[in-house]
């Protein structure tokens, strides 16, 4: 498991890009809950 | 997004089926639609907005009456009427056909019930595959191409646009739209959502993080482990003490057994002692008897004159081996003078024994006459018998004495054996005390063992409870540790989210800065290409636009704009946005997308010169422009420079009731020829025909 003090900067950028893609997909989603869930899912997939 | 055509079927003033094709060629991307007031130019704009985004402009009259009046009039009562607008466009290599239809039931001669609408979007991709979406799904797809909030800034009424922007929240809405079209809103939304997601993670972490509880449990466990060790030590100590007591108990048992033997010996010795005492008494009696008998024997022996016997006796008692006959007298004299008889008794003058011995002497037995010797002989005969008898008794007595003596000797030996066993009288007493002490100790030992067993039992129970508690704590700690591990992983995710937030904040700040500079420059350039005033654009942090000029001191101040300049300001802004999107979509598959600009009454507040400039410059800034013009704007549009970018022209021929305000029919003279513009006719409802002009 990745330690909190061992952050991979490339992965940070991947996460940031992933979040922007989610925002693209859910641009008109009124309920932010769905966006949050997608962001958390992205994190779960990227950081194990 | 590139519009190909719009088709109306009995929709508002467009009775029957009518189509407008838009110019799409590069360099010939302007579509000019000419129409009189009320001829349906705004209806075309609203047809686009209604079909693609389900919305209408605020000033659109009778929005509930979408079906053509003529269609309603010609229908029978109760008949259901339908109308539609179909828009075809291309975007991202796909062809889209969106048809939105409505139906109304005619309830009397002129009115119809409420509308029912239906939307269907068909998409054909580059490979020819078809996808169909209905109603809200269809709008959702369109919204992903160009959000509704932005659509009203690309498809707008030039006369009303300023009012739209300046209405309540208009400026803010416009700025929001700007940020969205240049891709900033996405970042802003992302930042907002990341903050919320972080908060959610924080909540999850705090719900999972039970470190405090874990610490408490560990303290409790440690406390119980300390107790546990204490219990174990105590139990071990109790067991050790029990073992010692048991060993001592065994020793006591052995000691007690040993002292029991001693006790038996003591009792036996007491019996032997008693027997010895009895036997000694018997022996004393026997010795007394023998002494008496010996006296008698001696006397008899004397009487018998048995000198030998006398001598023997004398030898026995006086240790003299021989008493000669002539010595008898002297012997008796000696006895008398010595004061001691051969039997050992004292011959005290005047005593009975002395008298007897003396009488014997006086009687002359030892030196008397024959007669007396005869007499003596007779007497001796009796005495001999008596003597023999006594001698037998004497022998028997001696044997008894010997026997008793021997028995006593045996008993004394026994006593000495006992004494050896019981170590004498002192040891006997000690043994007695020891026996009592040992018994007391044994009883104490038993009591203590019971007490210890109870204590051990109690401590074991406490230990068992303590062990169970420790197990419970351990299980609980394990559960918490699993959750803590999960919390740790989520903390790592949160850290990534936090870093992604920082990354996006930085990226957004950089993007904002560069886009602001780019837009400001672009707006300034475009505005100056429209207007003779050399104002420059300033965008604030939210991208609200100000046109500014510098005073004599070089200080920047917001310019006071006239109506026409205000319109130019927003044209410049829209044009700059379009240009930015157009260039970026041409250069790459950027996040920005290019959209057509459709303007109804584009030159309302602009003089001819400005109108011409707008008409000339706007097509340079996007891939498709649609102008919905009045006849009076003809001068602007026929400028050769403008006309060369026009790729499609349509004239809206407006049929109007002659009894209404328009009584005279009009034509419009276009470079392509003369076309019917307004046709006034008797008692006819208003409607419009779209006439495509060959360019």
At B280-302, the pLDDT tens digits run 898 888 888 877 777 777 766 66
CA distance A34 to chain B (A): 10
Question: What is the Cα Rg of chain B in Å?
Answer: 76
Contact B496 A20 (CB under 8 A): no
Predicted confidence band at A2 (pLDDT cuts at 50, 70, 90)?
very low
Which parts of chain B register pLDDT below 70? 108-114, 168-169, 299-347, 357, 360-384, 386-387, 421-429, 431, 583-593, 660, 662
CA distance A35 to chain B (A): 7
CA atoms within 13 A on the CB side of B54: 17
Distance CA B538, CA B534 (A): 13
Contact B25, B647 (CB under 8 A): yes
Contact A7 B189 (CB under 8 A): no
CA distance A4 to chain B (A): 5
Residue B82 confidence (pLDDT):
92
Beta bridge partners of B346: B340
pLDDT in tens, B44-77: 999 999 999 999 988 888 888 899 989 988 888 8
Distance CA B613, CA B618 (A): 8
Distance CA B695, CA B693 (A): 6
Contact A6, A38 (CB under 8 A): no
Searching chain A, which residue's CA lies closest to the CA of residue B139? A28
Question: Is B481 in the A-facing interface, judged by CB distances under 8 Å?
Answer: no
Distance CA A15, CA A27 (A): 17
Best of A16, A18, A44 to mutate (most B CBs within 10 Å, chain B): A16
Supply the DSSP symbol for B99.
E
Contact B500 A27 (CB under 8 A): no
**B370-422 and B424-530 helices, crossing angle to 10°:** 0
**B307-318 and B211-304 helices, crossing angle to 10°:** 150
Pick from B186, B488, B503: CB nearest A27: B186
Contact B170, B540 (CB under 8 A): no
Question: Is B558 in the A-facing interface, judged by CB distances under 8 Å?
Answer: no
CA distance A44 to chain B (A): 8
Q: How far is CA B683 from the centre of its chain?
A: 84
Q: Which residues of chain B make contact with A39, given a CB cutoff of 8 A?
A: 193-194, 197, 497
Question: What is the Cα Rg of chain A in Å?
Answer: 12
What is the DSSP track for B426-455? Answer: HHHHHHHHHHHHHHHHHHHHHHHHHHHHHH
Distance CA B624, CA B596 (A): 5
Contact B614, B603 (CB under 8 A): yes
Distance CA B174, CA A6 (A): 43
Q: Which residues of chain A make contact with B189, given a CB cutoff of 8 A?
A: 23, 27, 35
Q: Strands B116-124, B130-134: parallel, antiparallel or unpaired by DSSP?
A: antiparallel
Residue B688 confidence (pLDDT):
95
**B608-617 and B563-587 helices, crossing angle to 10°:** 10
Residue B91 confidence (pLDDT):
87
Distance CA B647, CA B118 (A): 32
pTM of the predicted structure, to 2 decimals: 0.60
Range 183-202 of B in CB contact (< 8 A) with A: 186-187, 189-190, 192-194, 196-197, 200-201
Residue A17 confidence (pLDDT):
93
What is the DSSP track for B15-60? Answer: EEEEEEEPP-BTTB-EEEEEE-TTSSHHHHHHHHHHHHHS---TT-
Residue B319 confidence (pLDDT):
42
Name every residue whose Cβ is closer than 8 Å to that of residue A44 and which is 6 or more positions away in sequence. Answer: B493
Residue B129 confidence (pLDDT):
92
Residue in B560, B558, B561 with CA at minimum distance from that of residue B610 = B561
Contact A39 B193 (CB under 8 A): yes
Distance CA B214, CA A20 (A): 39
Residue in B597, B535, B652 with CA at minimum distance from that of residue B29 = B597
Q: Is the torsion defined by CA of B367, B369, B373, B375 positive or negative?
A: negative
C-alpha pair distances (Å), B179 with each of A10, B102, B162, B607: 27, 34, 19, 31
């Amino acid at each position: 498991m990745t330690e909190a003090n061992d952050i991979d900067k490339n992965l940070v950028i991947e996460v940031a890009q992933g979040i922007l893609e989610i925002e693209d997909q859910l641009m008109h989603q009124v309920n932010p809950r769905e966006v949050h869930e997608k962001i958390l899912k992205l994190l779960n997939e990227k950081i194990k | 997004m590139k519009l190909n055509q719009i088709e109306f079927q009995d929709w508002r003033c467009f009775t029957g089926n009518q189509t407008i094709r838009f110019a799409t060629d590069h360099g010939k991307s302007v579509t000019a639609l000419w129409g009189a007031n009320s001829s349906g130019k705004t209806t075309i704009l609203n047809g686009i907005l209604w079909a693609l985004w389900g919305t209408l402009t605020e000033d659109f009259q009778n929005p509930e009456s979408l079906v053509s009046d003529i269609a309603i009039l010609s229908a029978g009562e109760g008949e259901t009427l339908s109308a539609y607008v179909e828009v075809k466009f291309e975007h991202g290599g796909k062809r889209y056909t969106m048809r939105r239809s409505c139906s109304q039931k005619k309830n009397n001669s002129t009115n119809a019930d409420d509308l029912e609408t239906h939307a269907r979007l068909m998409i054909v991709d580059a490979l020819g595959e078809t996808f169909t979406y209905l109603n809200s799904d269809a709008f959702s797809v369109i919204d992903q191409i160009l959000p509704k909030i932005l659509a009203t800034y690309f498809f707008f009424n030039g006369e009303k646009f300023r009012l739209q922007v300046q209405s309540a929240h208009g400026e803010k809405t416009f700025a929001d739209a700007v940020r969205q079209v240049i891709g900033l809103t996405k970042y802003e939304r992302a930042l907002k959502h990341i903050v919320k997601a972080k908060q959610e993670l924080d909540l999850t972490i705090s719900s999972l993080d039970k470190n405090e509880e874990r610490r408490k449990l560990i303290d409790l466990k440690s406390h119980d482990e300390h107790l546990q060790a204490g219990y174990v030590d105590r139990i071990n100590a109790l067991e050790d003490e029990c073992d010692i007591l048991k060993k001592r108990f065994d020793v006591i048992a052995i000691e007690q057994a040993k002292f029991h033997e001693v006790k038996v010996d003591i009792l036996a010795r007491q019996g032997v002692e008693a027997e010895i005492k009895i036997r000694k008494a018997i022996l004393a009696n026997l010795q007394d008897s023998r002494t008496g008998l010996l006296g008698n024997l001696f006397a008899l022996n004397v009487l018998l004159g048995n000198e030998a016997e006398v001598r023997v006796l004398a030898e026995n008692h006086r240790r003299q081996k021989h008493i000669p006959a002539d010595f008898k007298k002297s012997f008796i004299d000696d006895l008398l003078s010595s004061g001691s008889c051969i039997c050992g008794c004292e011959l005290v003058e005047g005593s009975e024994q002395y008298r007897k011995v003396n009488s014997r002497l006086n009687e002359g037995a030892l030196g008397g006459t024959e007669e007396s010797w005869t007499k003596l002989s007779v007497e001796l005969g009796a005495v001999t018998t008596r003597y023999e008898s006594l001698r037998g008794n004497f022998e028997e007595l001696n044997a008894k004495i010997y026997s008793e003596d021997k028995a006593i000797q045996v008993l004394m030996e026994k006593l000495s054996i006992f004494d050896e066993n019981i170590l004498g009288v002192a040891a006997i007493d000690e043994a007695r005390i020891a026996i009592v002490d040992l018994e007391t100790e044994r009883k104490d030992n038993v009591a203590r063992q019971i007490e210890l067993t109870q204590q051990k039992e109690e401590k074991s129970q406490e230990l068992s409870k303590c062990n169970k508690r420790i197990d419970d704590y351990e299980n609980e700690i394990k559960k918490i540790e699993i959750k803590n591990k999960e919390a740790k992983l989520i903390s790592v995710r949160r850290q990534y989210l936090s870093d992604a937030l920082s990354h996006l904040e930085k990226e957004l700040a950089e993007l904002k800065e560069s886009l602001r500079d780019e837009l400001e420059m672009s707006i300034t350039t475009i505005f100056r290409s429209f207007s003779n005033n050399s104002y420059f654009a300033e965008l604030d942090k939210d991208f609200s636009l100000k046109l500014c000029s510098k005073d004599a001191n070089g200080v920047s101040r917001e310019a006071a704009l006239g109506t026409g300049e205000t319109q130019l300001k927003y044209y410049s802004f829209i044009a700059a946005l379009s240009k930015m999107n157009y260039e970026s979509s041409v250069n790459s598959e950027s996040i920005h997308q290019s959209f057509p600009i459709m303007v109804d009454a584009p030159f309302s507040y602009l003089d001819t010169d400005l109108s011409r400039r707008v008409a000339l410059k706007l097509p340079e800034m996007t891939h498709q422009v649609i102008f919905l013009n009045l006849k009076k704007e003809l001068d602007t549009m026929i400028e050769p420079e403008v006309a060369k970018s026009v790729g499609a022209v349509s004239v809206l021929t407006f049929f109007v009731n002659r009894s209404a305000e328009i009584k005279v029919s009009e034509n419009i003279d276009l470079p392509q020829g003369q076309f019917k513009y307004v046709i006034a006719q008797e008692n006819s409802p208003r409607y419009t025909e779209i006439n495509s002009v060959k360019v």
